[in-house]
Amino acid sequence: MEINKPARVLIVDDVAAARETLGALLSIDGHQILYAASGDELLANIDQLQPDVILLDVMMPGLDGFEVCRRLRAREEWLHLPIILVTALDNRQDLVTGLDAGADDFLHKPVNGVELRARVRSMLRIKHQFDALTVMLQLREDLANMVVHDMRTPLTAIVGFTELLRGGYIPSGDTPDIRSLHRQVLRLNALVNDILVQAKMESGRLLPNRTDTDVNDLIRQVEDSFSFVVQSRDLRLILDLPTDSPLVSVDANLMQRVLDNLLSNALKFSPPNSSITIRAEYPAKAGCSLRLQVIDQGPGVAPEDQQRIFNKYEIAALKSRTDVPVGLGLAFCKLVVDAHGGQIFMADNHPTGSVFTIEI
């Protein structure tokens, strides 16, 4: 449940006047009020109503509140929905029966308006906390699955090559097989390091080790490490660098890995015979001493997804769509840039492709 979204409060009572009275009292807090005149009506329509909390009268013809509560708790999707029983009964056994049926709270008739609103707010807070925890656990599971998936590709190549070695294949010199194996090992190592650095950054245990760095030289090192991949995929890597480059205070190791990730992402989604440009600018203006851009001619990213691709909790969902070029690397890039007090964003490259920009 979104914290600013009006809560959907479902009032179940066979007496119309009772429903309307409770609804009027709760509407003061801006809730969206829903009604059902019986337990059967509630059970038949709950999937469409999707309430955030239920006020359930106990004494109703047909299914009473206790039985309705039991049937709701028998369904996994409604197991944690807050239910407040509204009852004129006040003996201890009735309270025990309600709790055993799965009720979370009680209100006694005649209902006090202040108490009613407070109980509903309390139940909604609990539901919001439960929903947030459920989402977080699902995101962690999705993220773990994505990490395993990303590791599988380089591991498959490594295992395949080691099987060749076990079978008696002995390469001589710096063969393409050796270079491929080395690239996959580096890729796997970089992924593991990115995850560890990301965890340390989020816990506040890692700060950039800034030194005065020649960013142009850093870019040339990245170009050299990807030269074989660029050639093998019939791509062109263009460096658009100024002749004079002032030294910039950054963590050289982290910034190199940011460039590695951005270039790797561009290579992955660029079509053959297209170009990728790495551009560096040094504006020397207030608030910005370095602007880096990685520009590709790939499929691009829809405007509504252009900020989501940097959020690791969005990445798991976006990754299931083949039209969105995402991976953990972009989330890592954002953490590094944020740690430097900068910003990273993307825009369309016309007529096609993406422009990833870093400003520090």
What crossing angle do the helices spanning 16-27 and 113-166 adopt, rounded to 10°? 70
The mean pLDDT of the chain is: 83
pLDDT band at 207 (very low <50, low <70, confident <90, very high): confident
Q: Which positions ≥6 away from 65 have C-beta within 8 Å? A: 12, 39, 56, 57, 58, 59, 85, 86, 87, 98
For 300-308, what is the mean pLDDT?
78
Sign of CA dihedral 68, 72, 74, 75: positive
Q: Which positions ≥6 away from 102 have C-beta within 8 Å? A: 69, 70, 72, 73, 83
**Whether the predicted pLDDT of 286 surpasses 70:** no
pLDDT band at 2 (very low <50, low <70, confident <90, very high): very low
| Higher-confidence position of 251 and 199 | 251
Contact 149, 142 (CB under 8 A): no
pLDDT band at 324 (very low <50, low <70, confident <90, very high): low
| Higher-confidence position of 148 and 332 | 332
**Whether the predicted pLDDT of 176 surpasses 80:** no
Lowest mean pLDDT segment, chosen from 192-201, 217-226, 252-261: 192-201
> What's the pLDDT tens digit per position in 120-166?
999 999 888 888 787 777 666 665 666 666 677 677 778 877 887 78
Distance CA 360, CA 344 (A): 9
Share of the chain above pLDDT 70, in %: 84
Distance CA 188, CA 88 (A): 65
Buried b (16+ CB within 10 A) or exposed e, 124-148: beebeeeeeeeeeeebeebbeebbe
> Which pLDDT score is estimated for 1?
42
| Higher-confidence position of 286 and 220 | 220
Domain 8-134 is in which class? Answer: alpha beta
> Which pLDDT score is estimated for 315?
58
**Whether the predicted pLDDT of 182 surpasses 80:** no
**Whether the predicted pLDDT of 319 surpasses 90:** no
Distance CA 74, CA 76 (A): 6
> Which pLDDT score is estimated for 26?
92
**Whether the predicted pLDDT of 250 surpasses 50:** yes
Query: Per CATH, the architecture of 211-359 is what?
Result: 2-Layer Sandwich (3.30)
pLDDT band at 3 (very low <50, low <70, confident <90, very high): very low
For 329-343, what is the mean pLDDT?
85
Residue 152's nearest CA partner among 175, 184, 199, 177 is 184
> What's the pLDDT tens digit per position in 57-109?
999 998 999 999 999 999 988 988 999 999 887 778 888 888 899 899 988 88
> What's the pLDDT tens digit per position in 19-69?
999 999 998 999 999 999 999 999 999 999 999 999 999 999 989 999 999
